Chains A and B, each alone.
Chain A
Amino acid sequence: MKKHTLAVTVENRPGVLTRVTTMFRRRGYNIESLAVGATENPAISRITIEVAGDDRIIEQVTKQLYKLIEVIKINDLTDARSVDRELVLIKVKADNSVRAEIVQIVDIFRARIVDIGRDSLIIEVTGDSRKIEAIEDSLRAFGIIEMVRTGKIAMIRGGK
């Protein structure tokens, strides 16, 4: 099923996120990723939700979200000309024999090494989902110890 990215503009008030996630749980829709944060207007927050579903499901999700009083606007950024980014931290096994190889991969992906342990490295990657999946694939062979992702954020290009 196709993944959609919904940018949901909401009132910046306590409980709004709960209302949004409760709706997903209750109606049986699955959130693939979620990112919440402030916007240029302190009274308004932005929830970026990735949800998998066909057009009918996305239409229902959108309509149900609109019924929440504190939801102001919803943009489906999936097919729009938009920029999306996610930040990931990957802790990978890295003894001396493979370090050089890993550093090369990090360079290729324009990622960064943010911590060096005795047998491991923490790598920070920013990018769209494809890039993140690609580096994850490349590092898997070395042994990924731990990985965290922020959830996707997105924005429409241009003047809108």
Chain B
Amino acid sequence: MKLKGAEILLQCLQKEGVDTVFGYPGGAVLPIYDALYKSEIRHILSRHEQGAAHAADGYARATGRVGVCIATSGPGATNLVTGIATAYMDSIPLVCFTGQVGTSLIGRDAFQEADITGITLPITKHNYLVEKTEDLARIVKEAFYIARTNRPGPVVVDLPKDVMEKEIDFEYPEEAINIRGYRVVKGYNSNQVITAVDYIQKARRPVIYAGGGVISSNAAEELRELAEKRKIPVTTTLMGMGGFPGNSYLSLGMLGMHGTRYANYAIGECDLLIAVGVRFDDRVTGKIDTFAPHARVIHIDIDAAEIGKNVEVEVPIVGQVKEVLAAINQRLEAIESEELNEWHETIHRWKEEYPLRYGDSSEGRIMPQHVIEEVYSLTQGEAIICTEVGQNQMWAAQYYHYKHPRSFLSSGGLGTMGYGFPAAIGAKIACPELPVVDIAGDGSIQMNIQELGTAVQYRLPIIICILNNHFLGMVRQWQGLFYGGRYSYTDMSHQPDFVKIAEAYGAIGRRIKEASQVREALEEALKVKDRPVVLDFWVEREADVYPMVPPGGSLMNMLGGD
């Protein structure tokens, strides 16, 4: 069959099971958009390429499938960069197609030429410049394969315009992918599994420290079985939220800088740390030599390079988290009921003594934490919660109990303000039946507020809860704690009327200043089925996120929350 490059591209996408792509057109991708015009693939038009990238990312996080976005050459491609880096840091499978100038013009500083494969080299798992239409199908196939296998990540495929225009005789390459330098990790070292089982059975004060790997490996069930079989308390990272039910009696909530005291104390006191799909990030460990000082460490991860990167471990196990956990569970004997009583009592005491809590407003304002609690009370964990970055993100992690994997979407590694709302768009498109809420800050929401246009166009009932403190709150908090209270350029009092902005876009907007109205406003918003709702909660201006491990400090020395 004679097909143009662009038509081949879309056929390949369909072969990969892609039904939705997020993108923004331009000169270099005209051939692709022309093919999309008559294609069954649904294209969601964002209002900024960054929005398209985050939406594809949100779609991927919500479903576990590969997210796809398209941008034109030059500025279109460079606008994707933050989205690609965000996905890279959190190991999210994306395939990003960028237009490129014609092959004969590459390297000549042609109009809207940008070296996007060069630019994205350190922020992609891999990238390609397609030089011949004949190579296209193989490359697209490889791109999806690389994006979703092993440790997932974003792959960029740069598509020169003439490669998209050219017509060739086409047959889909059915043969299996064979990349010499890339092998999918299969199996695991069973001796290490046996050692791990032995350690787990002997431990008196074990803790599971679970991260994003549990979610990307779809291993929540296996993790739960492990925890319940041996009654092991579980703490999750920001990326691991939902990987273990937050309302379980074994849950310790989040650990690290803004983790719970009881999670961090448990790390400090444990004799066995079972690290599952994590990378010992500095926001989690604090001062690394004081992290889990009394523990033997079992580290399970798909990425061999993560093992031993930041800490020495006794039992390294490279493999699919799901597979390895299943193997451990199979060999593990269920615990005698009393065995860990002492440990559980200790933890119980910490939980009693240091629950997450917050004070009343000094100015009669809404407490931001209260908004999150109400969102939880109304949705009971049966929703997708996206976040922006800053205090809003930490409160969303602390005060909502995530019950399911893929129900908490947040930029953990890169900490990208402006991530949450476009990610919510991707999530809502992926899961139209679930309520989708973006917990936002007044600063962050302004970074991609233009996506209201997208959400209105596609009639997406996303709820944006702006925790409006009229501050770049998290930065202000650090200025307060570590820079003598000099609030240098973090006052956000000059801000637009978010209600009017919502309305101007055709969304619903509402301002809430009374704590007594929080619940009702959320209830009303949850009833809306055909458009986004912006809830502008005016919250306590100088509320801080506590407890907190000061940067570089030990998890045992937390500020606040006591």
Contact = CB atoms under 8 A, between A and B. Distances in A.
Could you say which interface size class chain A belongs to? 20 to 34
Which range holds the interface residue count of chain B? 10 to 19
A10 B181 contact: yes
B38 interface: no
A109 interface: no
A59 B122 CA distance: 20
Q: Which residue among A22, A26, A69 has the maximum number of chain B CB atoms within 10 Å of its CB?
A: A69
Given A66-B304, A69-B146, A11 B181 contact: yes
A22 B180 contact: no
A64 B121 contact: no
Report which residue of B118, B181, B303 has the largest number of chain A beta carbons within 10 angstroms of its beta carbon: B181
Contact of B181 (A22, A23, A56, A71): A71
Interface in A17-39: 18-19, 22-23, 26
Contacts of A131: none
Given A56-B308, A60-B309, A67-B305, A72 B118 contact: no
Interface of A: 10-11, 15, 18-19, 22-23, 26, 56, 59-60, 63-64, 66-72
8 contacts: A10-B181, A22-B121, A23-B122, A56-B308, A59-B308, A63-B305, A66-B304, A69-B182
B305 A11 contact: no
A64 B122 contact: no
B329 interface: no
Given A15-B121, A60-B305, 7 more contacts: A59-B308, A66-B305, A68-B181, A69-B146, A70-B181, A71-B181, A72-B180
A11 B308 contact: no
Given A11-B180, A72-B180, A67 B309 contact: no
B106 to A, nearest CB: 11
B176 interface: no
Nearest to B125: A69
Contacts, number: 35
B53 to A, nearest CB: 21
A60 B308 CA distance: 8
A15 B117 contact: yes
A11 B178 CA distance: 13
A64 B305 contact: yes
A11 B121 CA distance: 16
Nearest to A68: B181
A69 B181 contact: yes
A71 B305 CA distance: 15
Contacts of B122: 22-23, 26
Contacts of B304: 63, 66
Contacts of A72: 180-181
B1 interface: no
Max chain B Cβ within 10 angstroms of own Cβ: one of A11, A63, A64, A72: A63
B309 A19 contact: no
Nearest to B304: A63
A66 B181 CA distance: 8
Contact of A19 (B121, B146, B179, B180): B121
Contacts of B309: 60
B305 A69 contact: no
B126 interface: yes
Contacts of B125: 69
A111 B340 CA distance: 73
Interface in B357-378: none
Nearest to A59: B308
Contacts of B146: 69
B495 to A, nearest CB: 37
A56 B304 CA distance: 13
Contacts of B117: 15
A1 to B, nearest CB: 18
A52 to B, nearest CB: 19
A17 B167 CA distance: 32
A69 B118 contact: no
Contacts of B118: 18
A26 to B, nearest CB: 5
A56 B313 CA distance: 13
Nearest to B307: A63
B209 to A, nearest CB: 21
Contacts of A71: 181
A68 B127 CA distance: 11
Contacts of A70: 181
Nearest to A64: B305
Interface string B290-314: 0000000000000111001100000
A63 to B, nearest CB: 4
B303 A67 contact: yes
Contacts of A66: 304-305
Identify the interface centre among B121, B122, B305: most chain A CB within 10 Å of its CB. B305
Interface string B159-184: 00000000000000000000111100
A68 B121 CA distance: 11
A64 B151 CA distance: 13
A10 B180 CA distance: 9
Nearest to A43: B180
Interface in B93-150: 117-118, 121-122, 125-126, 146
Contacts of B182: 69
Nearest to A25: B122
Contact of B126 (A22, A26, A59, A69): A69
A104 to B, nearest CB: 49
Nearest to B127: A15
Contacts of A60: 305, 308-309
Contacts of A23: 122
Nearest to A56: B308
Interface centre among B126, B179, B180, B303, by most A CB within 10 Å?
B180
Interface in B304-361: 304-305, 308-309
A15 B182 CA distance: 17
A22 B123 CA distance: 11
A19 B181 CA distance: 14
A75 B181 CA distance: 14
A91 B239 CA distance: 58
